[in-house]
Copies of this chain bind each other. A is one copy, B any other.
Amino acid sequence: MTHQSDHRAYFFKIDTTIKKIRNALQKQLNEAGFDLTVDQWVLTDHIRRQPGVSQNELAELTFKDPPTVTRIVDLLEKKGFVERTAAAGDRRKFNLFLTNKGNELYDKAFPVVAEIRRKGWGDLEETDYQHFVRIMDSIYNNFS
């Protein structure tokens, strides 16, 4: 990697790619009539898979900040998809669960999200995925 111009490009390329994925997913969610943002979906997905998870755990799992999680959970709660329950044995914590409405939403939205994911990966191969993971992890770890 001797050419400076190539070095400059990798930040830009990752940035534009994630924007494109987000836009495509948001557009699909909107067109399918879901009252849900991409990040709200991400939290919903984690709560579904790990019922009772706390907000701090959610922050670690999603690489979001605790204040960001607070606000997204606020919105999900206001929409009636998620409920905060006092955690047994620690009055600082909440356990998060999907409501019935939240579970219904999840069941309907999941196929839409899965389809977008499949579409984005297209006909890239298993070996591509290995390259992809190795390169992304390498960049990530170079900053850790």
- A-side interface residues toward B, CB under 8 Å? 1-2, 4, 6-11, 13-21, 23-25, 63, 114, 117-122, 124-126, 128-129, 131-140, 142-144
Contact of A11 among B9, B21, B122 (CB under 8 A): B21
A129-B6 contact given A20-B140, A121-B142, CB 8 Å threshold: yes
Determine if B18 and A126 form an interchain contact, defined as CB atoms under 8 angstroms apart: no
List the B side residues contacting A138 at CB < 8 Å: 122, 124, 128
A139-B118 contact given A21-B11, A131-B128, CB 8 Å threshold: no
Among A2, A15, A63, which residue has the most Cβ atoms of chain B within 10 A?
A15
List the B side residues contacting A134 at CB < 8 Å: 128
Determine if A17 and B120 form an interchain contact, defined as CB atoms under 8 angstroms apart: no
Determine if A132 and B18 form an interchain contact, defined as CB atoms under 8 angstroms apart: no
